[in-house]
Amino acid sequence: MKKERSKKHRRLQLLRIAVQAFFLALFFYFLFGTHFTGQDYIGNVEVFFHFSPLLAAATFLASRTLVIFFGLAAITVLVTLILGRVACGWACPLGTIHQFFSWAFKKSKFLRPKKPAAGSLWVKYAVLAFVLVAALFSLNVAGYFDPITFLTRVSATSLVPAVSHGLQSVVGLAYAIKLEALADKLSQSVETLTLNATFQQGFAIGLIFLGFLLLNKWRERFWCRYVCPTGALLGLFGRLNLFKLKIDEAACTKCTLCSIHCPTQASPFPNDQWKSSECLYCETCAAICPTRAITFPVRFKQEKAPAVDFTRRRVVASSLLALFSVPFFRISKAGKRASEKLIRPPGSLPEPDFLRRCVKCGECMKACPTNGLQPVLAEAGPEGLWTPTLVPKIGYCEYYCSLCSQVCPTGAIRELSVPEKTTVKIGTAWINKNRCIPYFLGRPCIVCEEHCPVSPKAIKFIEVETKRPDGTTAVEKAPVIDVELCIGCGICENKCPVMDQPAIFVTSVGEARSKENQLLLQIRE
Amino acid sequence: MNRRTFLKDVALGGAALGAGSRLFGAFPAGQAAGPDLAVIQGESPAAITRAAIETLGGMAKFVGRGSVVVIKPNIGWDRTPEMAACTNPDVVKALVEMSLEAGAKKVTVMDNTTNQAQRCYVRSGIQAAAKAAGADVPFINPRRIKKMAIGGAWLKDWDVIQDFVECDVLINVPIAKHHSLCRVTLGMKNWLGAIGDPRNQLHQKIDEASVDLAAFFKPKLVVLDAYRILTRNGPQGGRPSDTKLLKTVAAGRDAAAVEALGATMFDINPPDLPLLKLAVERKLGRIDLEKLNIEKRTV
């Protein structure tokens, strides 16, 4: 028999790569559009999230609220019901990246699969069960695993910042070798993209991503194969799988190349072992088959696909694990009393509701024009890891900006108009008189008052007598804060000339979203 | 010849002054024909700006053919023009147009902003207006900031944004605003937008710093935008009610004289401003308005 690979399936494979490239480009197009573009309102740059059924389900279960935008996830589900996991194989941007690296490892001979892999596929279903059961008990951990949130978070807080720093080096180099015109241009485009380049957790988040990239050296599409709960959910939805794998037994030489190179262990060979719930329709098996034995004819009849080894016992075990894990997440002091350092973006829901919805995707951090929104480590407790907080020393909350509230995919930050946003109090400024220049050194300053954006200003003056170190007495204007006017934007802290530990600083107390985290009697005479 | 060498020559007191004044137009104040100050009132910010410069003898008096012009408005804040926190964009636009009409090779408009640069450039309206008129409106490039000798009475050296030094003609276009430390800001403090950090520390001696910087940068022309002035809650305002429409532009060669005239708009007697007293001590210009030739017109 003449050995010849299928040209048709090779073309389909190339088409699939083109479609993947398109969705990856689209993903980054939206991501790079997530910043101040000159308009107060930016479009629906967070649309990718709304196609994730896992985020839809977890947000719905954890918050007991239907977020209307997640209706788009129905499209993904519908497509999967009919066609199987094409969303994973043809559209998912994180999957594309993993597939690219798998391909690179194969091309460079770091990855040389010799026989079909036999690893257990049930882990991602266990992750899925954990995520959903936890969500049922209001613990939203979907964002740590969902591919769209994963990739957005790592891009916003790690990859893009790294690119920014890299570009800065290139600019520096261009200046050093006197290519000033080029350097000026580069520098301006870096500024225009407002690549937020400072993130307190960026290194760790990047390292985790790097780890998963390297695992592709061990198994092709490791993440998609073993970890991704969104893929697992789509695997469960895949019912009809309109195009069904068929091996022409007469042509098959039983070389098992198809199963060796299947990126998700869907086991094309033998035919009756094909796991439609794992198949991404990537066309690799059909294109690689040396005798054109593999085709995907349309068949309406449902066949009983061999089950993944996610046994009833494992379903129960992972659900129980979630059930018993939830209380452990609640031990932290975060739920007991507000953290002074946890300054949530304007429009954030009250803390318990916020945690139920926030998927730690980093969209708000990408959108923030001052780089002030940062992923937290411990301030919000274990379930709040990588949720956003304003760190005024890095960046303040820009008065006329409500971008973070516009781009939040789950409504953890309620969408605000710009006029609405200017009235939302996210914290309160305090003065450390022991460090404040007029109070302590008896010299003029008032930088905080100058920058206070509200009108009338929340920072007022009093005349203060200060004994200077040389014994003379100075009388200077010193700042005092009108707590009721202060919105906690943090520009005073950001601009305070006392650099290391600013003499004026913002804490979360007084934040409009909280009933408990207050300081003043709310009864007015 | 660029500004830096020009300034050096002046400091040396050499013959360069003669060559310089031919090259750059009349200098110092008072030598040129025409009034010392032009104070023009009218409905259109662009028209009064044009009228002010024409009253002073036309832009060609300041901008030579082929010269590199840098215009320094106040773009410091993320505020729209009706808040009167930044210079009126139409005033800036008119100056760009006139500079190009006078034969400028290149006109650059820029400022070291306080709020996020892009937001300030966009929402002040200055970026779009100046670009439309043909100017370059770049953001501050941190690699083009260098430490320089300021040579002031108080400020000896500081980081200076090179674009403001490497030019033939520098035009200062401040907006008249209330400020709780300086009382008002009318021009010299605008130079804090041409230098690098930690500029916030300069507030500890703000008047001395402003005067030293004004003496260092020595603009050829100062155009004070008082179309809409900020009367309280400065330097940002925040409500239209913090502003007052004066529909005025004041222009002159003498930075101190323009500033003194601006003070009168806030009913301040010029010598009452410590900054102006310092400016006179340093011989930066004159503030005896009654003795100056001031042309006031309405267009």
Q: HEC states along B177-215? A: EEECCCEEECCHHHHHHHECCCHHHHHHHHHHHHHHHHH
Chain B: give the shortest CA distance to residue A42, in Å. 14
**From the candidates A173, A449, A454, A477, which should be mutated to test the interface with B, based on the most B CB atoms within 10 A?**
A449
Task: Give the A:B interface size as CB pairs under 8 Å.
Answer: 91
Residue A309's pLDDT is: 77
Chain A: give the shortest CA distance to residue B80, in Å. 10
Per-residue pLDDT of chain B (299 residues; tens, 9 = 90+): 455 555 455 444 444 444 444 444 444 444 446 899 999 999 999 999 999 999 999 999 999 999 999 999 999 999 999 999 999 999 999 999 999 999 999 999 999 999 999 999 999 999 999 999 999 999 998 888 999 999 999 999 999 999 999 999 999 999 999 998 899 999 999 999 999 999 999 999 999 999 999 999 999 999 999 999 999 998 999 999 999 999 999 999 999 999 999 999 999 999 999 999 999 999 999 999 999 999 999 99
Chain B: give the shortest CA distance to residue A21, in Å. 31
Chain B residues in contact with A446 by the CB 8 A cut-off are 180-181, 203
Using a CB–CB cutoff of 8 Å, tell me whether B181 touches chain A.
yes
Digit-coded pLDDT (tens) for A449-467: 999 999 999 999 999 999 9
Which parts of chain A have pLDDT scores under 70? 1-2, 194, 303, 305, 522-525
C-alpha–C-alpha distance, residues A379 and A333, integer Å? 9
Chain A: give the shortest CA distance to residue B116, in Å. 6
Tokens representing residue A215 in the block? 């695992």
Find out whether B166 and A184 touch, Cβ atoms under 8 Å: no
> Which residue matches tokens 């497509």?
A79
Digit-coded pLDDT (tens) for A202-245: 999 999 999 999 999 999 999 999 999 999 999 999 878 899 99
C-alpha–C-alpha distance, residues B69 and B250, integer Å? 20
Tokens representing residue A511 in the block? 């934040």
**From the candidates B139, B161, B203, B242, which should be mutated to test the interface with A, based on the most A CB atoms within 10 A?**
B203
Residue B150: which CATH number?
A: 3.40.50.11440
Find out whether B221 and A517 touch, Cβ atoms under 8 Å: no
Q: How many domains does chain B have?
A: 1
Residue B28's pLDDT is: 45
Digit-coded pLDDT (tens) for B182-216: 999 999 999 999 999 999 999 999 999 999 999 99
Strand B68-73 relative to strand B169-173, pairing: parallel
Residue B3's pLDDT is: 56
Chain A residues in contact with B197 by the CB 8 A cut-off are none
Q: Do the chains contact at B237 and A399, CB–CB below 8 Å? A: no
Residue A131's pLDDT is: 96
Q: Report chain A residues touching chain B, CB-CB < 8 A.
A: 36, 38, 171-172, 175, 183-184, 187-188, 191-192, 194, 369-370, 398-401, 437, 443-447, 449-457, 461, 477, 495-497, 499
The H or E element containing residue A105 is helix A93-107
3-class secondary structure, B111: coil
User: How would you classify residue A351: left for phi > 0, otherwise alpha for psi between -120 and 50, otherwise beta?
Assistant: alpha
Q: Do the chains contact at B180 and A444, CB–CB below 8 Å? A: no
Q: Which of B115, B122, B233 sits opposite A398 (nearest CB)?
A: B115
**Single-letter residue type at B71:** I
Q: Which of A454, A455, A497 sits opposite B201 (nearest CB)?
A: A497
C-alpha–C-alpha distance, residues B124 and B127, integer Å? 8
Chain B residues in contact with A461 by the CB 8 A cut-off are 180
**From the candidates B77, B115, B154, B242, which should be mutated to test the interface with A, based on the most A CB atoms within 10 A?**
B115
Tokens representing residue B295 in the block? 């042309």
Residues pairing with A430 in the sheet: A505
Q: Write a three-state SS string for A26-76.
A: HHHHHHHCCCCCCCCCCCCCCHHHHHCHHHHHHHHHHHCCCCHHHHHHHHH
Tokens representing residue B150 in the block? 């300021």
Tokens representing residue B219 in the block? 């603009």
Find out whether B184 and B260 touch, Cβ atoms under 8 Å: no
CB-based contacts of B109, cutoff 8 Å, min separation 6: B70, B71, B72, B73, B92, B96, B126, B130, B135, B136, B137
Residue B299's pLDDT is: 92
φ and ψ of B63, to 5 deg = -110, 115
Using a CB–CB cutoff of 8 Å, tell me whether B242 touches chain A.
yes
Q: Do the chains contact at B116 and A188, CB–CB below 8 Å? A: no
Residue A302's pLDDT is: 73
Tell me the CA distances in angstroms from A25 to A33, A85, A156, A366, B92, one per residue in order: 12, 20, 15, 17, 40
Q: Do the chains contact at B203 and A449, CB–CB below 8 Å? A: no
Residue B8's pLDDT is: 52
Q: Do the chains contact at B181 and A477, CB–CB below 8 Å? A: yes
Question: How many Cα atoms are found within 13 Å in the side-chain-facing hemisphere of B3?
Answer: 20
ipTM summary value: 0.89
φ and ψ of B62, to 5 deg = -110, -35
Q: Where are the beta strands (DSSP E) in A287-436?
A: 294-295, 373-375, 388-390, 428-431
Chain B residues in contact with A186 by the CB 8 A cut-off are none
- Range of B253's domain? 3-298
Chain B residues in contact with A369 by the CB 8 A cut-off are 116, 118-119
Tokens representing residue B184 in the block? 């008002």
Q: Which of A175, A437, A455 sits opposite B233 (nearest CB)?
A: A455
**Crossing angle of the two packed helices A312-329 and A123-136, in degrees rounded to 10:** 50
**Residue in chain A nearest B114 by alpha carbon:** A451
User: How would you classify residue B65: left for phi > 0, otherwise alpha for psi between -120 and 50, otherwise beta?
Assistant: beta
C-alpha–C-alpha distance, residues A129 and A196, integer Å? 35
Find out whether A151 and A187 touch, Cβ atoms under 8 Å: no
Q: Which of A194, A437, A455 sits opposite B239 (nearest CB)?
A: A455
C-alpha–C-alpha distance, residues A496 and A500, integer Å? 10
Q: Do the chains contact at A175 and B143, CB–CB below 8 Å? A: yes
Q: Do the chains contact at A447 and B200, CB–CB below 8 Å? A: yes
Chain A residues in contact with B122 by the CB 8 A cut-off are 36, 38
> Which runs of consecutive H residues, i.e. helices, occur in A195-283?
202-215, 222, 229-237, 257-261
3-class secondary structure, A206: helix
Q: Which of B123, B142, B233 sits opposite A457 (nearest CB)?
A: B233
DSSP symbols for A386-429:
T-EEE-TTT----TT--HHHHH-SSSSB----HHHHTT----EE
Tokens representing residue A250 in the block? 């007469």
Chain B residues in contact with A183 by the CB 8 A cut-off are 143
Q: What pTM did the predictor assign?
A: 0.91
Chain B: give the shortest CA distance to residue A374, in Å. 17
C-alpha–C-alpha distance, residues A55 and A76, integer Å? 12
Residue A1's pLDDT is: 52
Tell me the CA distances in angstroms from A509 to A108, A389, A513, A518, one per residue in order: 55, 14, 10, 5
Radius of gyration of chain A (CA): 27
**Single-letter residue type at B139:** F
